[in-house]
Amino acid sequence: MGIDQLDGRIIVLLAREPRIGVLEMSRRLGVARGTVQARLDRLQSNGVIRGFGPEVDPAALGYPVTAFATLQIRQGQGPDVRAHLATVPEVLELHTTTGTGDMMCRLVARSNADLQRVIDRVVGFDGIVRASTAIVMENPVPLRIIPLVEQAAGDTEGT
Amino acid sequence: MGIDQLDGRIIVLLAREPRIGVLEMSRRLGVARGTVQARLDRLQSNGVIRGFGPEVDPAALGYPVTAFATLQIRQGQGPDVRAHLATVPEVLELHTTTGTGDMMCRLVARSNADLQRVIDRVVGFDGIVRASTAIVMENPVPLRIIPLVEQAAGDTEGT
DNA sequence: CGGGTAGCTGGTCAGATTGCCCAGTGAAAA
DNA sequence: TTTTCACTGGGCAATCTGACCAGCTACCCG
């Protein structure tokens, strides 16, 4: 596990210009096309690169409001709660955590008013004892991976 | 703003099989290639589709520990704190929020012990008053967009 | 009502890229 | 020393892309 510098450069290049294609990458990186192809195959079978799905902006879809909800679950109701939350489209992700809450989820909604509806739907389930919600105002650092990839590529040098 | 059913089907198809290409999509959706191309162009210039960057798994990079940190900021120090956090590679995203905390960030680390180092680096900055951290144990619902896209495509029918 | 716009179809075209194969080389591991 | 592995540089056929076209329909507007 771990990536070397060439892997890192491939990922960063791909993150910056996703449409670029293997041939152009090999040109820019100064290596043979087969090498880039082999590296990419390996990164994907490694699981380092999960895929190339489209990044969809919920705001552009009509869901400009984002919030994080911390949930407290009744003992033993975990599995049921997960199944329940998985059925709510506005639940974008769900984690079980240590700490004050038992779960943490990311929600989106069409408006602040609509957020109320979403929260009602989320907590309107027996196993959920309490929920506390934090509405996102700004997003100074959008989800990113490049700095981490650069660090991983610089530090680890393979295994 | 909003997407119609064809847009929705395009996005879902793309999310399920990213490598698919415009031609194959047009075949499966039963529309002309030019249509799919035009839709995709529009979705991208709309900002609905931000891009096709590689989805990198931090765990496979050697960072298997994820945590969420809620930060309380000293009045007026917001901008400085943002700039500080932006320099930490392990900070994957950062939001400013309403509620008990002022900011919320997603962190990764090489281990639980390493998480301590990351947190020290995050909070080792003057403007941060307090931080409370929740370590992620499981991720029952990984970041997803398909259900929301399907709902948006079904409901809105364009504007 | 007629005109104009917008979107989709089904087709063509040249050019680029992909996936695949190969032999040769250098370095590291056994 | 022999084997293994990754990378190089090359070539091949098949495919896809981006661009363009005319024709058609639906729709809005004056």
Full 3-state SS string of chain B: CCCCHHHHHHHHHHHHCCCCCHHHHHHHHCCCHHHHHHHHHHHHHHCCEEECCCEECHHHHCCCEEEEEEEEECCCCHHHHHHHHHCCCCEEEEEEECCCCCEEEEEEECCHHHHHHHHHHHHCCCCEEEEEEEEEEEEEECCCCHHHHHHHHHHHCCC
> How confident is the model over B127-138, as a mean pLDDT?
94
Gap from B42 CA to C21 C1', Å: 39
Judgement on whether residues A88 and A107 belong to the same structural domain of the protein: yes
**pLDDT tier for residue A44 given thresholds of 50, 70 and 90:** very high
- Closest Cβ opposite residue A97 in set B11, B50, B137: B137
User: Which of B5, B102, B148, B157 to mutate to test binding with chain A, by most A CBs within 10 Å of its CB?
Assistant: B148
Residue A116 domain-assigned?
yes
Q: In terms of domains, do A98 and A117 share one?
A: yes
Per the structure, the count of domains in chain B is: 2
Pairwise CA distance, residues B67 & A151, whole Å: 19
Do B129 and B62 share a structural domain?
yes
Q: How confident is the model at residue B3 (pLDDT cuts 50, 70, 90)?
A: confident
Same domain, B121 and B74: yes
**Within this chain, do residues A77 and A124 fall inside the same structural domain, yes or no?**
yes
Is residue A140 domain-resident? no
Over residues B33-80, the pLDDT tens digits come to 999 999 999 999 989 999 999 999 999 999 999 999 999 999 989 899
CATH number of domain containing B127: 3.30.70.920
What does the pLDDT look like over A62-80, one tens digit per residue?
999 999 999 999 999 989 9
Residue A102 banded pLDDT, cuts 50, 70, 90: very high
Question: In the predicted model, what is the mean pLDDT of residues B13-18?
Answer: 93
Rounded Cα–Cα distance for residues B79 and B128 (Å): 11
CB of A31 under 7 A from strand D?
yes
Give residue B99's pLDDT: 86
* Domain limits for position A99: 58-135
pTM above 0.85, yes or no: yes
User: Average pLDDT for residues B105-132, to the nearest whole number?
Assistant: 95
In a domain, A146, yes or no: no
Q: Is residue B73 part of a domain?
A: yes
Structural domain includes residue A148: no
Q: What are the residues facing B34 on neighbouring strands? A: none
Q: Which SS3 state, helix, strand or coil, does residue A86 take?
A: helix
List bases in chain C with any atom under 7 Å of a protein Cβ.
7-11, 16-22
